[in-house]
Structure 1
Amino acid sequence: MNSLVIDLAGAVCLLLWGLRTVRRGVSDAFGPRLKHWIAAGTRNRGIAFGVGLITTIALQSSTTTALMTASFAERMLISIAMAQAVMLGANVGTGLAAWLFVLGAPWLAPATVMTGFVVFTVGRSTRAVATGRAILGLGLVLLALHMLAQATAPMRGSPAFQMLLTTLADAPLLMMLTGAGLAALTSSSLAIVLLVASLNLGGVLAPAPSIAIVLGANLGGAVGPVIATLGDGPLSRRVPLGNLGVRAIGCCAVLPFADHVAQGLLAVGVGAAALAVDAHILFNLLLAGIFLPLIGPLASAMGRLLPEPPVKEDGPRYLDASTLDTPGVALACAARETLRIGDRIISMLDCSLEALRTDDIQRCARLSSLEDEVDKLQSAVKLFLAELDRRPLSDEQTRRSSEIMAYAINLEHIGDILEKSVRELAEKKIKYQLSFSPAGLAEISAFYVSTIENLQLAQSLFLSREPSLARRLFELKVDVRRMEERSMESHFARLREKQPESMQTSALHLDLLRDLKRINAHIASIASPILKRSGDLLDSRLVG
C-alpha cells in the first residue's frame, strides 16, 4: 500500500512539474510575443476565441491565459466581451492539450525527453534554452502519464477501492466537488483531466464518476484566477469571474446527465483512455457554442456585478509633506510616486501602439490625457524633492534624491516624445488612411514590446539599484540599436521592391524608429549613475 501511494504521488508530482516546465519554457521563449498576440486578437469574437485556444495549447495552462487576459482588460487593451471570448477558447485549448498528451505513442516520452535535454544543453541563446526546457517538460508529462498508468494497475483488484468507487458512483456531486478541489489545489484542470484519463486506462474509474470529476476539474480550474485577481481592479476581476460563472452554469446543467453522457460517448466508440479527455473537450465546445454568441450580455452582467469605482482625482498619492522631516521615508514616498509616472508611461506606450495598429483616434486623445497626468506628477515630485533638499541630508540621501529627480525628468521627456511626436504620427496615419505593410507593422510592434520590457526593467532597477540589473539595462542599448538597424534595412528592402504600403508610410516608419530609439535612450540613462558608482562605466567610449 505504501509503495502504491508513493508511486502515485511521484507520478502526479512529475506530471505537475512537467506542466510547469512546459509553461515556463514557452513563456521564456515566446512570452512577449504571446502577450502581444493576445492583445492584438480583439477584432472579433472568432479571432479572440482562436487566440485563447492556441495560446493555452502553447502554455499548457488556461490559468496563465486567464491572468494575462485579465491584465490586458485592466489596461483596457482588450474589451471585457473579447476577453470572455479568449477564455472560451482557452477552455477548449486545455482539452486539446490533454488530447495531444493522451495520444502520445509509448516511445514518444523518452524521445521527447532526450530531444529536450539536447536542445537545452547545446542551446546558446536564451530562446533556444527556453525551447529546450519546454520540450523537456513535454516529455516529462508523457512520462508521468505512463507512470500513472502503471501505478494504478494494482488498484483494479483492490476490493476496498472498488467498494469506495461504488459508493461514490451514487454521489456525483461529491465526485464533482472532489475534482474541483483537486484542480483548485493544483491550479491546473489539465493535470486532473490527465489523471482521470490514466485511471480510466487502468480500469480504476467507472465512466459516470469520471465525467463528474472532469466537470469538477473544469470548475476548480477557474477558481485559481479568481483568487489571484482578488486584489486587482474590477476590470481585471470581471474576466476570471465571468469564466467561473460560465463553467459553473455548465457543470450544474450537465452533472445530472453525467451517466447518460458517459454511455453516449462509449456508444459512439470512445475508448476508456479517451473518455475523460473527449468529455472535457465536448463540455467546453458546448460552452463555447452557447456562450460565444452571448459574450456581450455576459460582459454586461459582469459590469453590473463589478462596477468600476468612481474616478479618483489626478495628482500625487504618496507625497506626504509630514514625512519631509524624516528624509528616508520622504525619499521612499518620492520613489513610489515616480514609479506611478513610469506606469503612466507604460500605458502611453500601449495606447500609442494601439492607436497605430487600430487607427483609433480616441487613443490619441487618451495619450494627451495621460501626458497631462505625467506632467502633473513629475512637477509634484520635483517640488517635493526641492523642499526635501532644504533639509540636512546625508551624502547617500542626496545621491538618491538626484537619482529620483533624474528618473522623473527622463520619464517626462518620454511622455513628451509620445504625446508630441508619436501622437502626431498616429493622427497623420489615421487622417490620410495609411497602412503599414504587415512586415513593417510587425517590426514596429516588436520594437514597442521591447521598449515596454526595457521600461519595466528600468522600474525594477530604480527600486533595487542593483549593478547587475544596471549593466543588463545598459547593454540593451546595443540590442535597441541593432533592432533599429534591422528594421531600417528591411524597410529599405521593401522600398526597393516598391511595396505600396512601405512607400506610403516610409516617413512614418522611420520617424517611429527614431522616436522609439530616443525613448530607449532615456530609459537606459537610469543605469548610468549606478554603473559609475560601481566603477563599471567609463567616462568616454572614445579610443584613447
Structure 2
Amino acid sequence: MAYRRTLKIGVTLTLIDLAGFVALLLWGVHMVQTGVQRSLGARLRGILGAALRNRFKAFLAGLGVTAVLQSSTATGLMTAGFVGEGLVALVPALAVMLGANVGTTLIVQLLSFNISAVAPVLVLIGVVLFRRADAGLRDFGRVMIGLGLILLALHQFIDLLHPLTGSSLVREVMAQLSGQLVFVALIGAVLAWAAHSSVAIVLLAMSLAGQGVMPVETAFALVLGANLGAAINPVVEGTAGASPEGRRLPLGNLFNRIFGVVVALAVFPYAAALVTGFAHDPARAVADYHTAFNLVLALAFFPWLKAYARLLERLLPARPQAADPGRSLYLDSLARETPVIALGGATREALRMADALEAMLVGLKAAFEKADKRGIGELRRTDDVLDRLNRAIKAYVTSLDPEASNADDHRRIAQILTFATNLEQAGDVVDKGLLALIAKGLKRDLIFTAADRAELVALTDRLIANLRTAGSLFVSGDERGARLLMREKEAFRDIEAAATAAHFAQLRGATTQTVETSALYVDALRDLKRLNAHLVEAAAYPILEASGELLSSRLKAEA
C-alpha cells in the first residue's frame, strides 16, 4: 500500500513538472513573438504590404516576416487585413501564407542544435536590456529572454524525460501509438490549436524523439498534426461574421494544410524512411521532416495558386449585402494579439465616426437653411451609428492584451478612446440639442431671421472644417494644427458671448415671438459652441497635453 501511494505521488509530481516545463516553453515562444511584434511590427507590416505585388516577392516576404515574428498567424492576420480592405489580390496573399508556413520551420531548425548552454547568457542579456535600455532595446531584451526560456524549458524537459526511456509501460504505450498515425496527427492538431503555436508542439516532438521516449515515425505524425492545428485558429476565430472575401485566405490555408497532411500520410512510409536515412539524429530528423513537409507543399501549390484562388472564389462567392454604417469594419478579432495592427484598425474605425458626424453636420446645415422636419429622423439615426461604433471601439481597444502593449500603444489607446468618446458626445449635441431646437421652433412657428439663419449656416460650415481638421490631427499629431484648432474654441466663445449680449439688448420692447426666436438662436449658438468644444477635446487636447503646452486651469494664479 505504501509503495503504491509513493508511486502515485511520484507520477503526479512528474506530470506536474512536465506541465510546468511545457508552460515555460509556451511562454518563451509567446515572449519572442510579442517582443518582435512590439519592436518591428509596424515595419514588418510595411515590408509585407510593399511585397504584395506578385506571388514570388510575396512568398519571400511571408517567409522572412514569419521567420522574424515566429508566428504564421500574425503574418496571416496582416495579409488578411490587406485582402479584406481590397488592397491585395488573393493569389499573392496565398503565396504569403505558403512562405509563412516555411518561415515557421527556421527557428525549429535553429533549436534542433544543442545550444542549451547559452540559455542563461540569453536570459542575462535579455534582463539587462529589458531593465536598463530604451523602448526598442527593451523589446529586443524580451526576445532574448524568450529564447533563453525556450532553451531552458527544452533542456529541463529532456532531463525529465530521460528516466522514462527505460520504462516498459512508456514503451508499450508508444508502441501502440506508432500504429495509429492518424490518431497521433489529430492529437498534434488539437495541441497546436490549444497552444496557438505549431513551433512549441514540434519542439516537444523533437524532445520526445530525441530522448527515445517516442519513435521518430510517431513524432513525424505529431508534426503533421501540429501543422494542421496551426491553420485552425485563424479559421475558428477570424471567420465568424466575416464576409466571404475575408474567409477565403484562412480557409484556403486550412485546405492547403489538410491536403498536405492527407498526402503525407498516404506516402508516410517512404517519406519517413527518406528523412531518417538522411538525418540519423532523431531530433534533427523531426526538424528536417517539419521543414521538408512545408517546403514540398509550398513548391507543389505555388504553380497552381491562380487556379486555387479561382476555386476559392467560386466556393465563397461575394454576396451583395446592404451596408450597415453602424457595423464595425476594421476591428479584427485576431489582431488583438498584435496591438500595432489592432490600433491601426481602431484608428480607421474612429475616422468612420468622423465621417458619420460630418454627415450629421451637413444635414444640420440643410435643416437650418430649409427649416423643415424632413431629414431630421435620418439624422437622428446617424447618431445611433455613432453610438454603436463608439461602443464597438471601446470594447475592442480595452480588450487588447496589456502584456503585448508598450507605452506608445497605451498612449494611442487613450487617444482613440478620447477621440471616439468626444465624437459620440458631439453627435448627442446635434441629436438632443440642435435638432430638438429646430423641431421645437417648427412646432411653435418660430422662424430664424435671414441674418440669424446665415450665421448658423456659416458656423456649421466652420464646424465641418474643424471636424476635418480634428480627423487630420488624430492621424498626424501635428502640434501647429492643434494650436489652430484650439483657437477655434475661443472664437466660438466670443461669438456666443456677443449673441447673448445682443439678445438681452433686444428684450426691451420686443414682441413675445421675437424674444422666443432670439432665445432659440442663442441656444443654438450655445450648442454649436459645445459641439466645437468636443472637437477640440477630441484631437487638439491630447496633442497639446502630451507636448506640455496645455495649462491645467484657466484660473489666474494667486499672488
| TM-score (normalizing by structure 1) | 0.64
Does the 8 Å CA contact 1:62/1:90 hold for their aligned counterparts?
yes
8 Å CA contact 2:415, 2:542 repeated in 1 = no
Q: Provide the rounded CA distance (Å) in 1 between the counterparts of 2:543 and 2:362.
A: 24
Shift of 1:539: 9.1
Alignment match, 1:309: 319
Question: Partner of 1:462 in structure 2?
Answer: 419
Q: Which one-letter code corresponds to 1:463 in the other structure? A: A
Q: Does 1:191 align with 2:200?
A: yes
Identity among equivalent pairs (%): 36
> Hey, what's the Cα distance between the residues in 2 that align with 1:113 and 1:479?
45
- The match for 1:343 among 341, 348, 363 is 348
> Does 1:215 pair with 2:218?
no
The answer as to whether partners of 1:168 and 1:175 remain within 8 angstroms in 2 is yes
Residues 112-132 of structure 1 deviation map (CA, whole Å, 9 limit, x = unaligned)? 111111111111x32121111
Structure-1 residue corresponding to 2:363: 383
1:295 equivalent to 2:295? Answer no
Q: Deviations over 1:266-314 (max 9, x none)?
A: 212341111211111000001110111111111111111222221535x
Counterpart of 1:211 in structure 2: which amino acid? F
Q: Distance in 1 between matches of 2:231 and 2:29?
A: 17
Distance 1:33 1:85, change over 3 A: same
Residue 538 of structure 1 is aligned with which of 551, 554, 557?
551
* Residue pair 1:70, 1:235 contacting (<8 A) in 2 also: no
- In 1, Cα distance between equivalents of 2:345 and 2:23: 40
Q: Any gaps of 5 or more consecutive residues in structure 2?
A: 1-10, 328-343, 373-382, 391-408, 424-472, 483-533
The within-5 A match list for 1:247-262 is: 247-262=257-272
Q: Residue type matched to 1:63 in 2?
A: T
For residues 526 and 101 of structure 1, do their structure 2 counterparts lie closer, same or farther at Cα, with a shift above 3 Å needed? same
Matched, 1:58 2:68: yes
Q: Is the 8 A contact 1:52 1:89 kept in 2?
A: yes
CA RMSD for the aligned pairs?
4.3
Deviation at 1:26, TM superposition (A): 0.6
Secondary structure at 1:526's aligned position in 2? helix
Partner of 2:97: 87
The equivalent residue for 2:289 is: 279
State the Cα deviation string for residues 245-269 of structure 1 (Å, max 9, x = none): 0110010011133233222212123
8 A Cα contact 1:178 1:216, kept in partner: yes
Please give the alpha-carbon distance, in whole angstroms, between the structure 1 residues aligned to 2:318 and 2:247.
11
1:44 aligns with 2:54: yes
CA contact (8 A) 2:206 2:286 kept: yes
The answer as to 2:86 corresponding to 1:72 is: no
Kept after mapping to 2: 8 A contact 1:316/1:377: no
Within the candidate set 115, 120, 130, 1:120 is matched to 130
**Cα deviation 1:142-197 (Å, max 9, x = unaligned):** 11111221121122112111111111111111011111111111111111000000
| Partner Cα distance (1:309, 1:14) in 2 | 45
The equivalent of 2:430 in structure 1 is: none
Among candidates 178, 191, 198, match of residue 182 of structure 1? 191
Report the AA paired with residue 118 of structure 2: L
Q: Tell me, yes or no, if structure 1 residue 110 matches structure 2 residue 120.
A: yes
Q: Does 1:526 align with 2:538?
A: yes
Kept in 1, the 8 Å contact 2:129–2:137? The answer is: yes
Q: Counterpart amino acid of 1:9? A: A
The worse-fitting range, judged by mean Cα deviation, of 246-255 and 300-309 is 300-309
State the alpha-carbon separation in 1 of the partners of residues 71 and 57 from structure 2. 19
Distance 1:111 1:68, change over 3 A: same
Contact (CA 8 Å) 2:130, 2:138: kept in 1 or not? yes
Taking the aligned partners of 1:13 and 1:305, their CA distance within structure 2 comes to: 39
Q: Is the 8 A contact 2:346 2:416 kept in 1?
A: no
Q: 2:105–2:290: 8 Å Cα contact kept in structure 1?
A: yes
In 2, the alpha carbon distance for the partners of 1:87 and 1:253 equals 19
Asked whether the equivalents of residues 458 and 523 of structure 1 are also in contact (C-alpha less than 8 Å), the reply is no
Measured in 1, the distance between the counterparts of 2:113 and 2:150 equals: 12
Kept after mapping to 2: 8 A contact 1:175/1:212: yes
Q: Which residue of 1 aligns with 2:527?
A: none
CA distance in 2, matches of 1:533, 1:132: 31
Distance in 2 between residues matched to 1:96 and 1:533, nearest whole Å: 45
- What's 1:363 paired with? none
State yes or no: 1:101 paired with 2:90. no
Written as runs of structure 1 = structure 2, the 5 A alignment for 1:214-253 is 214-231=223-240, 232-253=242-263
| Distance (whole Å) between structure 2 residues aligned to residue 304 and residue 29 of structure 1 | 39
Equivalent position of 1:411 in the other structure:
none
Alignment partner, residue 490 of structure 1? none
- When residues 269 and 309 of structure 1 are mapped into structure 2, their CA distance, relative to the original with a 3 A threshold, is same
Question: 1:5/1:73 Cα in 2 relative to 1: closer, same or farther (>3 Å)?
Answer: same
> 41-50 or 285-294: which moved more?
41-50
One-letter amino acid of the counterpart of residue 70, structure 2? Q
Find the counterpart in structure 1 of residue 503 from structure 2. none
Structure 2 Cα separation of the partners of residues 21 and 133 of structure 1:
6
Q: 1:12 aligns with which of 18, 22, 29?
A: 22
Q: Distance in 2 between matches of 1:270 and 1:531?
A: 62
Distance 1:382 1:158 in 2: 79
CA contact (8 A) 2:189 2:227 kept: yes
Larger mean CA deviation between 130-139 and 257-266 belongs to 257-266
- 1:110 offset after TM fit, Å? 1.2
Shift of 1:343: 3.2
Q: Distance in 1 between matches of 2:419 and 2:356?
A: 20
* CA distance 1:262–1:476, shift in 2 (3 Å): same
Correspondence for 2:169 among 160, 165, 170: 160
Instruction: State the distance in 2 between where 1:474 and 1:376 align.
Output: 17
Instruction: Give the deviation of 1:465 after TM superposition.
Output: 6.5
Distance 1:178 1:316, change over 3 A: closer
In the superposition, relative to structure 1, how do residues 474 and 273 fare at CA in structure 2: closer, same or farther (>3 Å)? closer
Q: State the alpha-carbon separation in 1 of the partners of residues 363 and 347 from structure 2.
A: 18
2:278 to 268, 274, 278: 268
1:141, distance to aligned residue in structure 2 (A)? 1.1
In structure 1, C-alpha distance between the alignment counterparts of 2:184 and 2:263, rounded to whole Å = 15
User: Partner letter of residue 25 of structure 2?
Assistant: L
Assess if the C-alpha contact under 8 Å between 2:115 and 2:151 holds in 1. no
Give 4+ residue runs of structure 1 displaced > 6 Å after superposition.
339-342, 344-347, 373-377, 384-387, 452-457, 472-475, 478-481, 522-525, 530-536
Residue type of the partner of 1:54? G
Q: Which secondary structure does the structure 2 equivalent of 1:308 belong to? A: coil
Give the 3 Å change call, closer, same or farther, for CA 188–532 of structure 1 in structure 2.
closer
2:410 & 2:361 partners in 1: Cα distance? 24
Q: Match of 2:431?
A: none
Give the 5 Å matches for 1:431-442.
none
